[in-house]
Amino acid sequence: MRKKIVAGNWKMNKTFDEGVQLVKEIIELYSKEVTSQVYVVLAPPFIHLYKLQPLLFGMPMLELGAQNCSNMPNGAYTGEISAAMLKSVGCDYVIIGHSERRAYFNETNDWLAKKVDIALANLMQPIYCVGETLEERNNGKFYEVIESQLRDALFHLPEEQMRHVVVAYEPVWAIGTGQTATSAQAQEMHAFIRKIIADKYGDELSENISILYGGSVKPDNAKELFEQPDIDGGLIGGAALQARSFIDIVKGIK
Ligand code: 13P
């Protein structure tokens, strides 16, 4: 059975003290209110990770993720953080290929393929992001774009590694805009992604891959999105910065 996951991507937000406070509030609300079998992944900026790990002890369904990692194992790469470093502070997941990194830091599918490899080699699950721009949606190219993002960064993986990948579909036009994809649009793309994976790796593997939706997920639209048969949770930006809205989204998973 595939895992249900709600991940909070804090992006470049929260000072150290604010981050600790937010996680304490999330833990409190989560412990009181969340009853479903859902993995909750917190992906704060790097500086928070070491401090947050002990706060999550004894909470097996609350896990840590990073927002990025280097595509190199170690060495003279000033300013980079390696996958091994992230694993050493308790990260189980790493977001790879977020559209903000593709757009502002020129990360290409080939480059991202190396990050996926290095994350898996360090026993972390990549949350690999795909998504089309508004222009690509409007000119009808969006299926091709998503297919090449999957093929070029993931499809070199052997089956036993592909099983550990989580895919996040985040249409760029829905990120931070308040304009979420409709549940029908999201479901359509998730079903397409699952089919592309099935064509390469077979139905059994594809049925067991978690595919998350991201882009303006809020407490009032989460439940309908998460009820779609191919949507296994969410990757949340703005609404993950407050414990109340984040936990209300988590509660949208049955
Ligand atoms: P928003 O939820 O703020 O639209 O951001 C989505 C996102 O980019 C998560 O990675």
Q: Using the predicted structure, report yes or no on whether residue 96 has a pLDDT greater than 90.
A: yes
Element (H, E) at 5: strand 5-9
Confidence of residue 76 (pLDDT cuts 50, 70, 90): very high
Task: Write out the two tokens for 128.
Answer: 């690999």
Write out the DSSP string of 98-146. Answer: -HHHHHHS---HHHHHHHHHHHHHTT-EEEEEE---HHHHHTT-HHHHH
- Hey, how many other C-beta atoms are within 10 angstroms of the C-beta on 211? 23
Please tell me the residue having the least CA distance from ligand 1 atom 7: 237
Please write the tens of the pLDDT for every residue from 195-212. 999 999 999 999 999 999
Across 85-99, 148-162, 171-185, least confident range: 171-185
Torsion, Cα of 162, 68, 245, 164 (10° steps): 10
Task: Write out the two tokens for 152.
Answer: 């070029």
Mutate-to-test residue for ligand 1 from 236, 242, 248, highest number of ligand atoms within 8 A of CB: 236
132 is catalytic: no
User: Do residues 215 and 174 touch, judged by C-beta distance below 8 A?
Assistant: yes
Determine which one of 63, 100, 136, 170 is catalytic.
170
Task: Write out the two tokens for 4.
Answer: 């249900």
Instruction: Give residue 252's pLDDT.
Output: 97
Please write the tens of the pLDDT for every residue from 178-187. 888 899 999 9
Interatomic CA distance for residues 197 and 186, integer angstroms: 17
Domains of the chain: 5-250 (3.20.20.70)
Task: Write out the two tokens for 230.
Answer: 């191919």
Per-residue HEC secondary structure of 109-120 comes to HHHHHHHHHHHH
Mean pLDDT of the chain: 97
- Hey, how many other C-beta atoms are within 10 angstroms of the C-beta on 238? 17
Please write the tens of the pLDDT for every residue from 15-66. 999 999 999 999 999 999 999 999 999 999 999 999 999 999 999 999 999 9
- CA–centroid distance, 72 to ligand 1, in Å, is 27
Instruction: Give residue 180's pLDDT.
Output: 85
170 is catalytic: yes
